[in-house]
Amino acid sequence: MAIYTARIGYSGTDGLDVTRRGNSPFGPSWALLQAHLTLRREGRETEESWQQYTASYTYEMLRLRAEIPHVWESLEQRVRVGATLLCYCGRSAHCHRRLLAEMLAQSTGVLYEGERVTTKTPFPTLGEQLVLPGIKNEEIE
């Protein structure tokens, strides 16, 4: 079994929406998400802002794990039978789905095999932001 990531729209049965918008407890908090999306929308996302986002999101997940362990454990159980973590972001490099996948790989020992490449979610070229039909940029997280 392995952990994968993909964009929302991936149709495999192992897909798991991990977005705040999808009411997942594993999405970034609204406060963190809004600040990040504002920077992204205004083209002010930098390596430094991404590092800050990474630190904040990691902290939120560690806190969730400490305060509501059964919620985190249910996710660990899920990835042990194989799961694909889904988010709206065009690229996984700067998306919490990759951070979450790496955290889960560490905590469960299940390998993170990276982003799924499907015809529905073509692998974008560097710097490209693909947006699914019907999903606005503002909704990307």
Query: Which one-letter amino acid corresponds to residue 32?
Result: L
Q: Return the SS3 of 23.
A: coil
Alpha-carbon gap, residue 131 to 7, rounded angstroms = 10
Number of residues lying near Zn ion (CB under 5 A): 4
101 scored as a contact of Zn ion (CB under 5 A) = no
87 near Zn ion, judged by CB under 5 A: yes
Q: Does 32 bind Zn ion (CB under 5 A)?
A: no
Asked whether 116 and 54 are in contact (CB, 8 A), the reply is no
Judged by CB under 5 A, does residue 79 bind Zn ion? Answer: no
Q: Residue 95 or residue 104: which is nearer to Zn ion going by CB?
A: 95
Site for Zn ion (CB under 5 A): which residue of 33, 61, 86, 89? 89
* Cβ contact 114:4 at 8 Å: yes
Which residues of the chain form contacts with Zn ion (CB under 5 A)? 87, 89, 95, 141
